[in-house]
Amino acid sequence: EPQTDFIFSILAEELGFIGGMTVLALFLVLVWRGMRVAITIPDTYGSLLAVGIVGMVAVQVVINIGVVIGLMPVTGITLPLISYGGSSLTLMLTALGILLNLSRYAR
């Protein structure tokens, strides 16, 4: 089913090169802002938690895009915030909510 693991290929087909690059740029901004939060938090535990959450998002994006373009074998990892998947989406939204809460304490 294309709306689950291979949503990026459908998105790139419908929106073209510019649309695909825009999605990748938005994920890059999410990772960059998350790392800024992780660096500026004075608490060590909060910093490590933020790095873990950002790393989880980044690894999922890299693996999913690698699978879609054919560089990696099919693994079943969803594209965060875009793919249809109940448990994956719930976990990702919870993790990003925790990251957003951590950003309140950044310097």
Q: Give mean pLDDT, residues 47-71.
A: 94
Q: Give mean pLDDT, residues 85-90.
A: 86
pLDDT over 70 (residue 39)? yes
Could you tell me if residue 78 is inside a domain?
A: yes
| Structural domains in the chain (count) | 1
Which residues are CB-contacts of 57 (< 8 A; sequence separation ≥ 6)? Answer: 27, 30, 31, 34, 80, 92, 95, 96
Domain ranges, residue 39: 7-103
What's the whole-number average pLDDT of the chain?
A: 91
Question: Which amino acid would we find at residue 76?
Answer: G
Could you tell me if residue 26 is inside a domain?
A: yes
Could you tell me if residue 1 is inside a domain?
A: no
pLDDT over 80 (residue 85)? no
Distance separating alpha carbons of residues 24 and 71, to the nearest angstrom: 17
Could you tell me if residue 85 is inside a domain?
A: yes
What pLDDT score does 29 carry? 97
Enter the pTM of the model.
0.88
E-state strands within the chain: none
pLDDT over 90 (residue 50)? yes
